[in-house]
Structure 1
Amino acid sequence: MPGKSVLIVGAGPTGLTLALDLLRRGISCRLIEAAETPFTGSRGKGLQPRTLEIFDNLGIIEPILAAGGLYPKMRIHLGPLSIRMGSLGSSKPATESIPYPNLWMVPQSRTEAILRERLHALGGRVEFNCAITNVQQSQDSVDATFSNGETMQVDYLVGCDGGRSTVRKMLGLKLEGEAIDEKPMIVADVEIDSLDRSDWHIWPFVKGGAIGLCPLPNTSLFQLTAKAEAVGEDVEGVVLKATGHRIECVTWRSIYQPAVRMVNRYRVGRVFLAGDAAHVHPPAGGQGLNTGVQDAYNLGWKLAHVLRGGPDSLLDSYQSERLPIAAAVLGLSKRLHQTRSIKRGDATNQLALHYRSSSLSSGNALGTLLPGDRMPDVRFDDGSRLFDHLRGPRASEVATIGGQRILIRPDGYIAHIGVKHFGEYAGEPTQAIEGTVSLQSRR
C-alpha cells in the first residue's frame, strides 16, 4: 500500500466510522474483519443524539433515520392485566441547536450496512475472513501478519475488534473492571406470532427472570432479552409458556455477561484501541456502540493530521480525551443497569460530554458554552445550518454577534473562544464561515 496508511482491525460501527472519516480526509486505510460475513443481529440498536450528529456529518443521516424509529413505550404484562409505561427514549421536537434530540432505534446490522454502503461510495471496502495474527512495531511503522500468511506495513494500526480484541491481547493490555450481574443474558432476534408491534413487551415475573420482546423498526422481528439460564436451550418453549406467543424463527442469538470493564491505555506506540476493544458496557442506557463511534470520530481527524505531517504528539490527546469519557459512561451504564430505571432524561444522549480539560481547549466562556464543549447547531440568515458548513475534513471559524470568534475542531467540538482570528488550526487552514451567530443561551 503506497503512501501513508492505517490498518483498521474490526469492521463493526467503530471501525467503519474510522475508515469513513479517514477516507474522506484523503488518508489511505485498510479495513479487515475476522468474521466471514457481515454481522446480522440487532445488538446495539440505540443511536444517541450525538451519534446521529456524527452520522449527519458523515453523510448518512437520511438512510439512518429512514431505517429506524423512536423507542416504543413499554407494556408490562401481569397475568391477564397489562400496564403501559413510559419509553426508554424521548419524543422531543427538534430545536435549532439540537436537530436530533431523541434516541433512535436502528438494528445494529442495518447501521453497519449503511456505513458500509457509504464506505463503498468513497472507494473503500471491508475485507471479511481476514484475521490478524501478529503485530510488531518500530519507531516508524507497524508490521501486521494475517491468517492467510500475508504481511503488510502501515504507519498506524487501530484495534476496533470488540470485547475479545486480538489487538488488545497482543498489546498486553487487559480489560479491568467487574461483572455486574451474576448470570449471563441472552439476546436474540425472533419472529413472534401475533404479538402487537406498537409496544415493548415485558413479562417481569417469569421464573428465572424477566422476558422482554422489543419490536425492531422496519423489520418483522422482535429483540428478545432474558436470563440465559431462564430459557436454557428451549427458548421457543419458555417464551410460549410465559407470553402465550409462539416464536416462528430465531434469526440471531448471543449470550453475554453484563459487565463494566475498560483498559488503562488507549495507545501503545503506533497502535490504538477504540470501541469495545477498549471498554465494554452493559446494554442499559445504550452507551456502548455510541461511545465506540465517538472514539473513532475523535481519532480520525488526528490520525489524518499527523499523517499529513503534523506532530505525533497530537495523537496523545486521543487517550487523554477519550479515556475519562469512557470511565464516566461506564459508571452511568452500571447505575442504569442496577437501578433498572426507565427515566433517563438527558443523561444518556451524550450531548453534554466535553473536552474542557483537554490541552486542545483554550479561551473564554461564551454564555453557557466553554472551550471543549460540543458546538451546537444554529441557522444563519440565509437559512443554512452551521452543521451543513461543518460537514467535511477541516476546522472552522464562526463569528458571534458580540465580536467573539469560535474555533471549531474537525470533530465538532470547540477548540477556542476569543477575539483572535486563527486562520489555521494545528498547522492547517481553517474555513471561515460567513455570517454571525448569537450563542449566548444555546447549548
Structure 2
Amino acid sequence: MSEVVVVGAGPTGLLLAGDLAEAGIAVTVLERRDGSVSNLSRAFGVHARTLEQLDARGLADQLVPMGAALRRVRLFERVEVDLGTLPSRYPYLLITPQYNVERLLLDRALKAGVEIIYDAEVLEVGQDAIGVTVTTAHGAHRAAYAVGADGFHSSVRRALGQPFPGKSVLKSIMLADVRVAEQPAELLTVNGVGDAFAFIAPFGDGYYRVFAWDRRHSVPDDAPLALDEVRDVARRALGTDFGMHDARWLSRFHSDERQVPHYRIGRVFLAGDAAHVHSPAGGQGMNTGLQDAANLAWKLAAVLRGAPDALLDTYHTERHPVGRSVLRSSGAIIRAAMIESAAGRAVRGFAARRALSVPKVREKVTGQLSGIGYHYPAPHGAHELTGTRASDVPLAGGGRLYEALRDRRFVLIGDADVTGRQDRINVVAPAVPGGPLVLVRPDGYVGWAGTDTTGLGQALDALLGPVGSHQTGRP
C-alpha cells in the first residue's frame, strides 16, 4: 500500500514522486495518458532555479547538453533581460523542450521504485481522518496523502469541488511544429506588434515550435488551422515567416490566469497547473510547478516520518504567494507585449528599458524570471538567511552544497551535534570557515541559521519531529 498517491505523470508529478521514493516513501502515480511521452508540450525553457533543483538530484548535467543556453531573454522589440549576471551556476535560460525534462524525471522515478499506473483517470477523491481514497475506473487506491499534479483540467481539483478563479487572457493562440527554410538568427525569437504576436524556438531535431496570436481573428480552440495563417501572423510580428513548411502538428489553445485559493485541502494537495496557470510569457509555467513539487516532497516525507502535521501547512504559505507573483509578472509581460498602438509600444519600450537600467529593478526582474529571487517567510526573530535560497557553496574536502543535497537529506553546514538524526541530516564543513551555522532543507532553502546552536534543536523538532518520533504514515 502506498503512503502517497500522486495524480499526474508530468514533470511536476514525476519530480515529486521521485523525491518521495528516494526518501523511502512508497509512492503510486496515477496517469490518465497511455504512457507515451508527448512531444506536444508547450514548455521550452528551464530557468536557473529549476536547473539548480535538478542539479541537487544529479540531473542537470544530463539535461544541459540537450539544450542551448540563452543568456539574454528578449521580451519584445529591443527590451531584453540579461540573465548572464545571475549569481548561479546556471546564469541562463536553457532552451530545451519539456519532454526532455520529463524523460529524465521519469527514468529517475522508475529507478527509485515509483509505481506508475497508466490509463488511470481519476473519478473520485475521498478523505477521512487517517487517509485518502483515490478511485479510478480500475479500482481504488488508498494512501495517507494524495497530490493532484494533473494539470489545468485537474480531475483531483474538480473531485474536491475546488474553485479555480481567474480568466482567459489570450484566446485562439496558434501552435505549430514546422521546419524552416531560413534559420532564425536568435535562439529564441519573440515579438509583439499590437495586433500580432509570435514566438519561435527550436526543438533540436530540425523542427521549430511556433506560438502565434492574431488580435483580429479570435476563434474557438477546435477551429481548423492552416499553416498559411501561422505564416501570416509570424510575418506581421517578426517581419518574416522564416520559410515555414512541413508542419507536423497544428493546433489552437487559450491562455488563462487562474489560481486555487488553497493548495492544501485536508490530506490532499494541488501542485503545478492543477493549482495555478498563467500566460506563457517568461517561460515560467513548468518551472513553477517543479518548484512546487520540490517544496512539498520533503515535507510529506518528514511528516510521514514523525514531523508535526503543521509543517504541511507551510506548503501553501510558501508556494501560494510565489504562484500569485508568477501570475502577475507573466500577465504584465504579455499585456505589455499586446499593446496595440504604435505610441503605446514606444512608451512601453522606453519605460521598460529605463526600469531595467536601475540595478535593484534589474535584480528583482531577473530574480523573479529565473526563480532564484524568491524566498519564503521566516519566523519572527529568525536569522536573516532563514527562508532564503541557499547558494551552492563549496565544501571542505571538495564538492558543493547541491551535490551534498542529492541524497534528499537536510544538510547542516557547520559543526553541531545531531545525535539521533544522523540518518536524516548530512553534516558538512564549508570550504571557507567562520560563517554561521546553516541548516539547508532538501529543496535548497535555508530552514534555520544561527551564530551558535541556540534554537537549532527547536528548529529540528519542527522540521523533522522530535528524536525518536519516526513512524510510518500508512493508513
Instruction: Assess same fold via TM > 0.5.
Output: yes
Segments of 5+ residues of structure 1 without an aligned counterpart are 77-82, 430-443
Question: Aligned with 1:346: secondary structure?
Answer: helix
Contact 1:397 1:406 in 2 (8 A): yes
Shift of 1:293: 0.5
Query: In structure 1, what is the equivalent of residue 377 of structure 2?
Result: 356
Query: In structure 2, what is the equivalent of residue 106 of structure 1?
Result: 96
Query: In structure 2, what is the equivalent of residue 124 of structure 1?
Result: 114
Return closer, same or farther for 1:240/1:404 CA change in 2, 3 Å cut-off. Answer: closer
**Aligned partner of 1:46: which letter?**
G
Contact 1:266 1:278 in 2 (8 A): yes
Segments of 5+ residues of structure 2 without an aligned counterpart are 338-351, 357-364, 415-429, 468-475
Contact 1:73 1:199 in 2 (8 A): no
Query: In structure 1, what is the equivalent of residue 420 of structure 2?
Result: none
Report the Cα distance in structure 2 between the residues aligned to 1:234 and 1:312, rounded to whole angstroms. Answer: 50
Query: In structure 2, what is the equivalent of residue 222 of structure 1?
Result: 208
**Aligned partner of 1:222: which letter?**
Y
Report the Cα distance in structure 2 between the residues aligned to 1:159 and 1:13, rounded to whole angstroms. Answer: 13
Larger helix share, 1 or 2: 2
Contact 2:21 2:112 in 1 (8 A): yes
Aligned residue pairs, count = 408
**Aligned partner of 2:208: which letter?**
F
For the pair 1:165 / 2:154, whether they are aligned, the reply is yes
| More displaced 10-residue stretch of structure 1: 35-44 or 295-304 | 35-44
Shift of 1:300: 0.3
**Aligned partner of 2:211: which letter?**
T
Report the Cα distance in structure 1 between the residues aligned to 2:241 and 2:464, rounded to whole angstroms. Answer: 62
For the pair 1:420 / 2:410, whether they are aligned, the reply is no
Q: TM-score, normalization: structure 1?
A: 0.83
Name which of 283, 290, 295 aligns with 2:292: 295
**Aligned partner of 1:271: which letter?**
V
Question: Aligned with 1:301: secondary structure?
Answer: helix
**Aligned partner of 1:54: which letter?**
Q
Report the Cα distance in structure 2 between the residues aligned to 1:138 and 1:103, rounded to whole angstroms. Answer: 43
**Residues 42-71 of structure 1: per-residue CA shift (max 9 Å, x gap):** 411111111111111122111210111123
For the pair 1:409 / 2:402, whether they are aligned, the reply is no
**Aligned partner of 2:97: which letter?**
P
Return closer, same or farther for 1:244/1:275 CA change in 2, 3 Å cut-off. Answer: closer
Report the Cα distance in structure 1 between the residues aligned to 2:17 and 2:25, rounded to whole angstroms. Answer: 9
Report the Cα distance in structure 2 between the residues aligned to 1:51 and 1:372, rounded to whole angstroms. Answer: 17
Return closer, same or farther for 1:281/1:253 CA change in 2, 3 Å cut-off. Answer: farther
Q: CA RMSD in A?
A: 2.9
| More displaced 10-residue stretch of structure 1: 300-309 or 20-29 | 300-309
Question: Aligned with 1:347: secondary structure?
Answer: helix
Query: In structure 2, what is the equivalent of residue 375 of structure 1?
Result: 390
Name which of 17, 20, 37 aligns with 1:19: 17
Query: In structure 2, what is the equivalent of residue 7 of structure 1?
Result: 5
Query: In structure 2, what is the equivalent of residue 238 of structure 1?
Result: 229
Contact 1:209 1:230 in 2 (8 A): no
Name which of 67, 83, 91 aligns with 1:90: 83
Contact 1:74 1:201 in 2 (8 A): no
Contact 1:71 1:88 in 2 (8 A): no
Query: In structure 2, what is the equivalent of residue 438 of structure 1?
Result: none
1:318-397 aligned at under 5 Å gives the runs 318-340=315-337, 345-357=366-378, 359=379, 363-365=382-384, 370-397=385-412
Query: In structure 2, what is the equivalent of residue 439 of structure 1?
Result: none
Query: In structure 1, what is the equivalent of residue 69 of structure 2?
Result: 70
Query: In structure 1, what is the equivalent of residue 309 of structure 2?
Result: 312
Report the Cα distance in structure 1 between the residues aligned to 2:448 and 2:198, rounded to whole angstroms. Answer: 49
Shift of 1:265: 0.7
Question: Aligned with 1:109: secondary structure?
Answer: helix
**Aligned partner of 2:174: which letter?**
I
Return closer, same or farther for 1:255/1:194 CA change in 2, 3 Å cut-off. Answer: same
Report the Cα distance in structure 2 between the residues aligned to 1:246 and 1:139, rounded to whole angstroms. Answer: 60
Question: Aligned with 2:370: secondary structure?
Answer: coil
**Aligned partner of 2:447: which letter?**
A
Query: In structure 2, what is the equivalent of residue 79 of structure 1?
Result: none
Query: In structure 1, what is the equivalent of residue 472 of structure 2?
Result: none
1:166-205 aligned at under 5 Å gives the runs 166-181=155-170, 183-196=171-184, 198-201=186-189
| More displaced 10-residue stretch of structure 1: 226-235 or 297-306 | 226-235
**Aligned partner of 1:38: which letter?**
V
Return closer, same or farther for 1:118/1:427 CA change in 2, 3 Å cut-off. Answer: same
Return closer, same or farther for 1:408/1:213 CA change in 2, 3 Å cut-off. Answer: closer
Report the Cα distance in structure 1 between the residues aligned to 2:289 and 2:7, rounded to whole angstroms. Answer: 14
Query: In structure 1, what is the equivalent of residue 346 of structure 2?
Result: none
Query: In structure 1, what is the equivalent of residue 200 of structure 2?
Result: 213
Contact 2:27 2:115 in 1 (8 A): no
Return closer, same or farther for 1:58/1:70 CA change in 2, 3 Å cut-off. Answer: same
| More displaced 10-residue stretch of structure 1: 383-392 or 312-321 | 383-392
**Aligned partner of 1:61: which letter?**
A
| More displaced 10-residue stretch of structure 1: 291-300 or 222-231 | 222-231
Shift of 1:160: 0.3
